[in-house]
Amino acid sequence: MKVLTIAGVTLRRMVRDPLSLFFVFVFPLLLVLVIGATFGEGFQPRIGIVEGNGPTADALAARLRTLDGFTPRTVGSASEAADGVSRGAYEAAIVIPDDGGSMLAVQVVVRQGSSARQIRTVIEGAVAAEAAVLRAADVLVAEGLRPNLREALETVDQVEQLVPGFSVVERSVDDSPNDRPIGTFDLGAAQQLVLFTFLTSLSGGAALIQARQWGVSRRMLATPTSARTVIAGEALGRFGVAIVQALTIATGSSLLFGVYWGPLLPATMIIALFAAVSAGASMLLGSLVDNDQQAGSLGVFLGLAAAALGGAMVPPEIFSPTMRNISHLLPHAWALDAFTEIVRRGGGVDDILIELGMLSLFAVVILVAAATAFRKTLTTS
């Protein structure tokens, strides 16, 4: 019961602090909202189209406007398009030159990054497909089979319906044919969850330092309460904060944005184990650092660094093999692997045993180290 009493105070103090409340509950959900609104289901990249002059350029522009999966925007000039892309007004821009010569060299303007690469690939494919249609229509006009480009295009469209076509389905070597279709939204939310659960926990280490500075922790030891109980209570309190935050992100994003977190049991196990790791990290930082302000800054730095290395800030898919190995020195990577398995491949507990085992190992090692360090702070001086 005393363990619960001490843990309860940690939770109560967190709830009393408006700043903590914002960073624990509101901010992660806001980020999920932003990421969801940007990349989630129903998201259509905005494409700026700079139209050239001439029938072919007009026809290509008209057809690009009808492409599925994009929201077209007319842009006045190539420089305006580049500016819009760099400012984020459009995810990409297509600059169609004026007719002339045998080749219509269409320019695709994108930013660097994995999503830009995907968008560029899709646009290039679409432009190539439309260019093929236009060339076929041009041939029909040139051969005198159709009087003008408009009728020629109608004919080509009709023929296209009758002739079997080709489609390309991309599959990574890591993917299974049974993979659930998934938007960036889903895994983006998992990344936010591990990032913020760990980051907030580390920042929360400052509260432990405050309790030490105020002498409250030592005072607890003067009551008939063992050091083990105090440590367990403090750890449980931090675990409580971490798991409440993680569950809020999971539940909130699921209810608000339809994020799929996989089957309940394995998802809960991942969240619980990662919360335990985060609680241990919080206690460890709170025990090793003597200044609460330093701990706050250090917590943010370490939290962001761990998230970046662990694949919670940038997609782990873009990591080199070496970096992927390094990322697995951090619990984030194991948690994200586990989420990928249950979310994308419909895996269950059996399929993520290794990931759960590694998270358990991280939790035990960090909690034991934290308990040892915290005990030392309590029982010396």
**CB contact set of 260 (below 8 Å; sequence gap of 6+):** 180, 182, 186, 254, 343
Nearest to 300 by CA among 368, 201, 218, 214: 201
Rounded Cα gap, residues 194 and 185, in angstroms: 15
Does residue 135 bind other proteins (CB under 8 A)?
Answer: no
Rounded Cα gap, residues 94 and 75, in angstroms: 9
Does residue 218 bind other proteins (CB under 8 A)?
Answer: yes
Q: String of b and e for 362-380 (b: at least 16 CB within 10 Å)?
A: bbeebbebbbebbeebbee
Beta strands 46-50 and 107-110 are: unpaired
Order the strands of the 92-95 sheet from edge to edge. Answer: 71-75, 46-50, 92-95, 107-110
Of the candidate spans 6-14, 25-33, 104-112, 298-306, the one that interacts with other proteins by CB under 8 A turns out to be 6-14
Three-state DSSP at 43 gives: coil
Of the candidate spans 115-123, 154-162, 180-188, 220-228, the one that interacts with other proteins by CB under 8 A turns out to be 220-228
Does residue 9 bind other proteins (CB under 8 A)?
Answer: yes
CB nearer to other proteins: pick between 11 and 33 = 11
Does residue 361 bind other proteins (CB under 8 A)?
Answer: no
CB nearer to other proteins: pick between 125 and 215 = 215
Of the candidate spans 10-18, 60-68, 139-147, 329-337, the one that interacts with other proteins by CB under 8 A turns out to be 10-18
Nearest to 35 by CA among 193, 198, 170, 172: 193
Tell me the closest approach of the beta carbon of residue 22 to other proteins, in angstroms.
16
Does residue 214 bind other proteins (CB under 8 A)?
Answer: yes
Tell me the closest approach of the beta carbon of residue 236 to other proteins, in angstroms.
15
Does residue 176 bind other proteins (CB under 8 A)?
Answer: no
Does residue 1 bind other proteins (CB under 8 A)?
Answer: yes
Tell me the closest approach of the beta carbon of residue 1 to other proteins, in angstroms.
8
Does residue 116 bind other proteins (CB under 8 A)?
Answer: no
Structure tokens at 42: 């129903």
From candidates 223, 251, 294, 297, binder to other proteins by CB under 8 A = 223
From candidates 21, 157, 176, 219, binder to other proteins by CB under 8 A = 219
Looking up tokens 């903590």, which residue turns up?
Answer: 20
Structure tokens at 81: 């398009």
Structure tokens at 106: 């269409």
Tell me the closest approach of the beta carbon of residue 210 to other proteins, in angstroms.
9
Provide the CA 23 distance to its chain's centre, in angstroms: 17
CB nearer to other proteins: pick between 155 and 377 = 377
Does residue 301 bind other proteins (CB under 8 A)?
Answer: no
DSSP letter for each residue of 258-290: ------HHHHHHHHHHHHHHHHHHHHHHHHH-S
CB nearer to other proteins: pick between 163 and 222 = 222
Three-state DSSP at 92 gives: strand
Tell me the closest approach of the beta carbon of residue 8 to other proteins, in angstroms.
9
Tell me the closest approach of the beta carbon of residue 207 to other proteins, in angstroms.
9
> What residue type is 233 in one-letter code?
G
Q: What does the per-residue mask of binding to other proteins show for 11-30, with x meaning CB under 8 A? A: -xx--xx-------------
Does residue 222 bind other proteins (CB under 8 A)?
Answer: yes
C-alpha to C-alpha distances, 313 to 118, 190, 284, nearest whole angstrom: 18, 11, 23
**CB contact set of 237 (below 8 Å; sequence gap of 6+):** 6, 7, 8, 9, 10, 11
Does residue 44 bind other proteins (CB under 8 A)?
Answer: no
> What residues line the site for other proteins (CB under 8 A)?
1-2, 5-6, 9, 12-13, 16-17, 211, 214-216, 218-227, 378-380
